[in-house]
Amino acid sequence: MSNGNLRTFMMPAAMIVGGVFHHQLGQWGFLTPYLIFAMLFIPFCGVRLREMRLTGLHAALLGFQMVVSAAAYALVRLFDVDVAQGAMICVLAPTASSAVVVASMLGARVPTMLSYSLVVNFAVALTAPLFFLIVNPSGEMSFGEEFATILGRVIPVIVMPFVAALVLRRIAPRLTDGIQRLGMVSFYLWIVALTTTTAQVVNFVATQSQLSLAKGLSLAGVSLVLCLVQFFAGKWIGRRYGETMAGGQALGQKNTVLAIWLAQSYLNPVSSIAPAAYVLWQTIFNSTQLWLKSRKK
């Protein structure tokens, strides 16, 4: 079995392990923010500011992501609020760090992917608290206080990895170069985080006697639709800029671990079923793309 096939197999395997051993592994969910930090820090060590170029493609992808996340919530909310929150987080979630690896295997330009990953993580860190407060206000604090609280929790997880990588490159460039070569470590950290967050989702579902099968299927179904919409929309946008594969992966391949954590922390936890299902859909989509490319060769 090739390394690419093994990595593809590990994604659903992580979800199965997390589901089967949810009682034991769900207790390790407190590690998720630290794992997300490390997952982002390693690829960010490869970012050189002089190589970063913000283009019309990045603006178009980011605009699509912000507008469609709000539109998806507004539309689905007409039928079910919890499913609407799941739909929103499936679109709002930033690009996965592993998307750079998959995109390069599909022939995309790595600098394009790294630039968008950086931009979208900053954008989500700044806008996600606003989205969460609008769709799920707690009422315990004022809007400004609650926004500042959520922002203070989200920024260290999403933005500080980049700041730390930038500082380290300034004071110890050789060490930074060594860390960036450990790219696969980021993938394995993602597998560990995926396992624990899946366990948390299953733990939550197991304790929700009022959660109907229909709602669970609705959350999984809307994530499937949005997965396909984002991949194909990203390809369509990317084609207009000569970056078809980069556009598809940047918009379609999500940091689902971060999405699940955000949903469980700031939305109705049942909405985390949507990004959990998204893992399966994007894995199938990426596996199909890689198989078609290898067959063409």
12 is a domain residue:
no
Structurally, how many domains does the chain consist of?
1
Q: Which residues of the chain have pLDDT under 70?
A: 1-8, 51, 98, 101, 138-143, 183, 209-210, 297
pLDDT at 209: 64
- Note the pTM of the prediction, 2 decimals: 0.81
66 is a domain residue:
yes
pLDDT at 51: 67
2 is a domain residue:
no
170 is a domain residue:
yes
pLDDT in tens, 119-173: 888 888 888 888 888 887 765 666 677 777 777 777 787 778 888 888 898 888 8
13 is a domain residue:
no
- Return the CATH number at 118: 1.20.1530.20
46 is a domain residue:
yes
pLDDT at 8: 61
3-state secondary structure the chain: CCHHHHHHHHHHHHHHHHHHCHHHHHHHHHHHHHHHHHHHHHHHCCCCHHHCCCCHHHHHHHHHHHHHHHHHHHHHCCCCHHHHHHHHHHHHCCECCCHHHHHHHCCCCHHHHHHHHHHHHHHHHHHHHHHHHHHCCCCCCCHHHHHHHHHHHHHHHHCHHHHHHHHHHHHCHHHHHHHHCCHHHHHHHHHHHHHHHHHHHHHHHHCCCCCCHHHHHHHHHHHHHHHHHHHHHHHHHHHHCCCHHHHHHHHHCECHHHHHHHHHHHCCHHHHHHHHHHHHHHHHHHHHHHHHHHHHC
pLDDT in tens, 268-294: 889 989 998 898 888 788 878 877 877
pLDDT at 194: 78
pLDDT at 82: 93
pLDDT at 140: 64
Domain hosting 149: range is 30-296
